[in-house]
């Protein structure tokens, strides 16, 4: 796939320089100095671009306003702000539609790595509509990461890991407890060129009074008990990766200091009047909704915008039950016990609130306690059996359904997600041909079949040559 990149920059020199860099790597680039020309082009070519790169400092307007206009025209368009400014207001402007900012001072290879990441994410977002089956090449992506399963979700996550690994930028991993966030962080480090340490930290496990000293270090005598200089966690991971788990637990005052490190790549130990440059890549993770935390003034907006540019979202195990057979086989190796097919299917009916971690513990427990070489449903923990067989109500997968009913419920849920995706994108298209070719990149017949199956009556966008309901054939 040859990706198309839109660049809007009033500086002829900067525009031509970036255009030349991207074209050298095989990208098709459409550049504009006047933002109104770029906006008008997108209005006529919705869905045509994998990424838009917009200068922040544009005379007469701002990059954030341009991004907002572009997003209104094409909600699925990925936008990055391109700027020589690293001030906090640049981060805040991301709320207007841009997803990340690229500093003009970055080396060419780093800019290309960021662009490659956006293009990979563009392909991933469209892959769900194409319904591409997982193949052997896809599964090969999982092996160097240590991910176990066969779901499309895991393959998509693996692609992001391989794409993000070379970057020096912060990575945000979100997911429930037990989904494997630390394993993903370690894979990002292992697949990178960094040869420093991988330093994992649980932010919620450190006393608030010690957090600043733990993160940034301190000098001798800076406070009671500081009997000698101490290197902080950030500096101890120099040349490597610092993994901050549960970043949402950090207090506000430390969030400010952490943002400064992200902006300037420098730290100042407690009690020191000197700052030090540190080359540490940071991967952060959380099991809470940071957007909600920002709205409730529990997490700084500027820090959120700084870390959210390169996200990896891990689905809970209940939403990817097709991975359970592979996980059971993996966790039972060495036990000399065989899990019967009906036992594995029973596992697939359970909600797994503890996710992969809970499944691993249960596989090992039931294999150990089974009196025979065959692990049956009777060997499963009684609490799990009761949750599946005698549900007390509520939402989840452990609803006492038989396996066929469970699969049907999953199918309906997937269809509803696809229906929302197609409905959103159809609002920006003028015809089925445009929606299929330019936005979703599938054949007309494939798209028409899905629209019919989902009961979607496609309407053309307003103020186009084609009005009303679209009926096209391939």
Residues 6+ apart with CB under 8 A from 6: 29, 30, 31, 32, 38, 41, 42, 49, 51, 52, 53
Domain end (from 269, 295, 313): 313
Domain that holds residue 340: 317-400
Whether residue 197 is contained in a domain is answered as yes
Whether residue 428 is contained in a domain is answered as no
pLDDT value of residue 28: 94
Whether residue 445 is contained in a domain is answered as no
Whether residue 436 is contained in a domain is answered as no
Residues 121 and 14 in one domain: yes
CATH number at residue 117: 3.40.50.2300
pLDDT value of residue 278: 93
Residues 103 and 228 in one domain: no
Residues 171 and 278 in one domain: yes
pLDDT value of residue 207: 87
Find, among 252, 329, 265, the residue nearest to 297 by Cα. Answer: 252
Residues 279 and 339 in one domain: no
Strand partners, 270: 218
Low-confidence ranges of the chain (pLDDT < 70): 1, 85-96, 127-132, 390-411, 413-414, 417, 427-430, 432-433, 435-442, 458-474
pLDDT value of residue 305: 87
Q: Report d(CA 106, CA 207) in Å as an integer.
A: 37
44's enclosing H/E stretch is helix 35-44
Number of domains in the chain: 3
* Extended strands (E) in 16-174: 28-32, 51-55, 79-83, 100-103, 171-174
Whether residue 247 is contained in a domain is answered as yes
Residues 301 and 378 in one domain: no
Q: Report d(CA 441, CA 98) in Å as an integer.
A: 23
Domain end (from 78, 111, 130): 130
User: Tens of pLDDT along 446-471?
Assistant: 777 777 777 777 665 555 444 333 34
Residues 180 and 271 in one domain: yes
pLDDT value of residue 447: 73
CATH number at residue 369: 1.10.8.60
Find, among 161, 167, 192, the residue nearest to 313 by Cα. Answer: 161
pTM over cut 0.85: no
Domain end (from 104, 130, 156): 130
Residues 83 and 13 in one domain: yes
pLDDT value of residue 375: 94
Residues 93 and 189 in one domain: no
Whether residue 150 is contained in a domain is answered as no
| Alpha helix segments (H runs only) across 333-402 | 341-347, 355-369, 382-389
CB environment 26-44: b (16+ within 10 A), e (fewer): ebebbbbbebeebbebbee
pLDDT value of residue 54: 92
Residues 71 and 171 in one domain: no
Whether residue 473 is contained in a domain is answered as no
Residues 81 and 184 in one domain: no
Residues 308 and 366 in one domain: no
Q: If you compute the radius of gyration of the chain from its CA atoms, what whole number of angstroms results? A: 25
User: Tens of pLDDT along 129-176?
Assistant: 555 677 778 888 888 888 898 898 999 899 899 989 988 889 999 999
Residues 252 and 325 in one domain: no
């Amino acid at each position: 796939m040859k990706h198309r990149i839109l660049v809007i920059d009033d500086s002829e020199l900067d525009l031509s320089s970036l255009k030349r860099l991207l074209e050298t790597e095989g990208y098709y680039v459409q550049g504009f100095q006047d933002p109104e020309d770029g906006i008008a082009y997108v209005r006529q070519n919705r869905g045509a671009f994998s990424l838009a790169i917009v200068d922040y400092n544009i005379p007469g307007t701002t990059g954030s306003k341009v991004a907002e206009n572009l997003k209104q025209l094409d909600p699925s368009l990925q936008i990055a702000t391109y700027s020589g400014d690293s001030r906090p207001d640049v981060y805040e402007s991301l709320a207007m539609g841009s997803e990340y900012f690229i500093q003009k001072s970055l080396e060419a290879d780093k800019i290309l790595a960021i662009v490659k990441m956006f293009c990979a994410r563009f392909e991933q977002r469209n892959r769900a509509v194409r319904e591409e089956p997982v193949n052997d090449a896809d599964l090969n992506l999982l092996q160097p990461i240590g991910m176990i399963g066969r779901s499309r979700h895991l393959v998509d996550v693996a692609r992001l890991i391989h794409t993000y690994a070379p970057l020096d930028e912060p990575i945000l991993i979100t997911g429930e407890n037990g989904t494997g966030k630390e394993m993903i962080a370690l894979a990002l480090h292992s697949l990178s060129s960094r040869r420093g340490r991988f330093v994992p930290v649980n932010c919620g496990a450190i006393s608030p009074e010690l957090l600043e000293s733990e993160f940034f270090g301190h000098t001798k005598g800076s406070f009671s008990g500081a009997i000698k200089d101490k290197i902080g966690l950030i500096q101890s991971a120099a040349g490597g990766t610092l993994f901050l788990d549960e970043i949402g637990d950090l207090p506000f005052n430390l969030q400010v200091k952490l943002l400064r490190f992200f902006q300037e790549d420098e730290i100042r130990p407690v009690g020191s009047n000197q700052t030090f440059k540190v080359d540490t890549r940071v991967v952060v993770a959380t099991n809470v909704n940071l957007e909600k935390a920002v709205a409730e003034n529990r997490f700084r907006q500027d820090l959120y915008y700084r870390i959210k540019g390169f996200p990896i979202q891990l689905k809970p195990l209940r939403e990817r039950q097709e991975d359970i057979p592979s996980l059971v086989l993996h966790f039972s190796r060495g036990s000399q016990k065989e899990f019967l097919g009906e036992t594995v299917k029973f596992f697939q009916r359970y909600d797994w609130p503890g996710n992969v971690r809970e499944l691993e513990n249960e596989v090992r427990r039931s294999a150990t306690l089974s009196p025979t070489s065959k692990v049956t449903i009777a060997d499963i923990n009684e609490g799990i059996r009761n949750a599946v067989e005698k549900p007390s109500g509520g939402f989840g997968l452990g609803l006492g359904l038989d396996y066929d009913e469970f699969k049907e419920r999953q199918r309906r849920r997937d269809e509803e997600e696809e229906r929302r995706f197609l409905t959103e994108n159809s609002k920006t298209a003028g015809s089925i041909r445009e929606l299929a070719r330019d936005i979703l990149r599938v054949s007309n017949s494939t798209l028409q079949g899905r629209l019919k199956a989902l009961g979607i009556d496609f309407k053309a966008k307003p103020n186009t040559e084609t009005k009303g309901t679209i009926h096209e054939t391939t």
